């Protein structure tokens, strides 16, 4: 389901959360939405899900504006970390409500997910542990099969094995029922393999929107004798450097052609990949 965001502005009082953001997602893919705390991820998803009305700019999902548009909103599921969408009575009640709300709900699938995460059906969602509540959110989010499904840190309360189970379930269900999925996360290394495209937002604007593989191919670490590293990286965009005695490692951002690569090897430098988390950290201003 196509997502278009144009000059989007969202202000809360005198705080500007989204500052003229524009991008478009073709749809049918798994998108990673990355940003530091306060960068505007949650604000953006709240507007996309019509939880909030934008201050200015346009948002359309599947070609339709979303705010106060019941038809459009039925196709959009946003699961937040707090799991507030599911804190309606017992787990059973939450599933019943979701089934009523979602035309594409798959109750058999919901049952199998309840078993996968070992969730008690009769328990009041508000009395569940944080991990169970997160898992409830994941069950509702996946079984909704909404054409646009967004998970905003929904799995933060889940332990590592449950998160792994979530990633596996998400991938399997996406393969079986392709749809547009947006995942926002701080656990970048855990999830980055699932992304087909990545949108990095920073201070209310889009900083990077690229295919994950293209983004990863732009990051190269150059390691070797400090002087040789400096000569090699002169004129290139260096995101960060670390030094250990005479050895230096620089993170370079940009395409390196074959000639440059040969040069590096001839100078005894080692070239290596940079993972998405490191790229993210350095593209958004380093670890300060």
Partner 1 sequence: MFDDRSPIYRQIADRIKAEILSEALKADEQVMSTNQYAAFYRINPATAAKAFQHLVDEGVLYKKRGIGMFVSPDARDMLRARRRETFFAEMVDPMIAEAKAIGIPLRDVVTRIEELGGDT
For partner 1, the binding residues (CB under 8 A) are 29-30, 167-168, 171-172, 174-175, 193-196, 212-213, 216-217, 220, 256, 261, 265, 271-273
b/e map 213-238, b = 16+ CB within 10 Å? eebbebbbbbbbebebbeebbeeeeb
Closest to partner 1 by CB, 92 vs 196, is 196
Beta carbon nearer to partner 1, 116 or 216: 216
In the complex with partner 1, the residue whose CB is nearer, 242 or 261, is 261
Q: Which is nearer to partner 1, 56 or 172 (CB)?
A: 172
Give the nearest distance from C-beta 123 to partner 1 in angstroms. Answer: 30
| Contact (CB, 8 A) for 167 and 191 | yes
Task: For tokens 């500052």, name the residue.
Answer: 19
Nearer to partner 1, 98 or 181 (CB): 181
Shortest Å, Cβ 191 to partner 1:
9
Residue 231 token pair: 């000569």
Specify whether the CB–CB gap between 179 and 28 falls below 8 A: yes
As measured in angstroms, the least distance from the Cβ of 250 to partner 1 is 15
User: Closest separation between CB of residue 94 and partner 1, Å?
Assistant: 28
Q: Which of 92, 78, 84 is nearest to 124 (CA)?
A: 92
Do 271 and 252 contact (CB within 8 A), yes or no?
A: no
Q: Kindly tell me which of 128 and 279 has the beta carbon lying closer to partner 1.
A: 279
Beta strands 219-225; 270-273: pairing state: antiparallel
Q: Which residues contact 46 (CB under 8 A, 6 or more apart)?
A: 52, 78
Cα–Cα distance measured from residue 19 to residue 6, given in angstroms and rounded to the nearest whole number: 11
Please give the Cα distance from 272 to 279 (Å, whole number): 13
Q: How far is the CB of 55 from partner 1 (least distance, A)?
A: 34
Q: Tell me the closest approach of the beta carbon of residue 219 to partner 1, in angstroms.
A: 9
């Amino acid at each position: 389901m196509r997502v278009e965001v144009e000059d989007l502005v969202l202000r809360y009082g005198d705080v500007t959360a989204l500052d003229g953001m524009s991008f478009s997602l073709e749809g049918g893919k798994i998108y990673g939405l990355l940003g530091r705390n306060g960068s505007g991820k949650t604000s953006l998803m709240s507007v996309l899900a019509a939880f909030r009305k934008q201050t200015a700019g346009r948002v359309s999902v599947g070609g339709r504006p979303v705010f106060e548009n019941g038809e459009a909103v039925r196709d959009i599921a946003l699961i937040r970390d707090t799991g507030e969408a599911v804190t309606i009575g017992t787990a059973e009640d939450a599933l019943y409500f979701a089934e009523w709300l979602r035309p594409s709900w798959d109750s058999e699938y919901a049952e199998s997910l309840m078993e996968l995460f070992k969730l008690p059906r009769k328990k009041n969602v508000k009395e569940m542990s944080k991990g169970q509540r997160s898992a409830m959110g994941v069950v509702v989010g996946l079984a909704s099969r909404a054409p646009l499904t967004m998970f905003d840190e929904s799995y933060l309360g889940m332990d590592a094995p449950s998160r792994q189970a979530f990633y596996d379930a998400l991938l399997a269900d996406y393969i079986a029922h392709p749809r547009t999925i947006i995942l926002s996360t701080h656990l970048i290394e855990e999830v980055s393999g699932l992304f087909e495209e990545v949108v990095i937002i920073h201070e209310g604007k889009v900083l990077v929107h690229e295919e994950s593989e293209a983004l990863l191919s732009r990051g190269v670490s150059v390691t070797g004798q400090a002087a040789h590293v400096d000569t090699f990286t002169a004129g290139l965009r260096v995101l960060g450097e670390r030094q250990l005695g005479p050895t230096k490692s620089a993170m370079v951002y940009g395409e390196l052609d074959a000639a440059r690569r040969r040069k590096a090897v001839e100078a005894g430098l080692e070239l290596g990949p940079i993972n998405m988390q490191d790229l993210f950290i350095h593209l958004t201003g380093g670890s300060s």
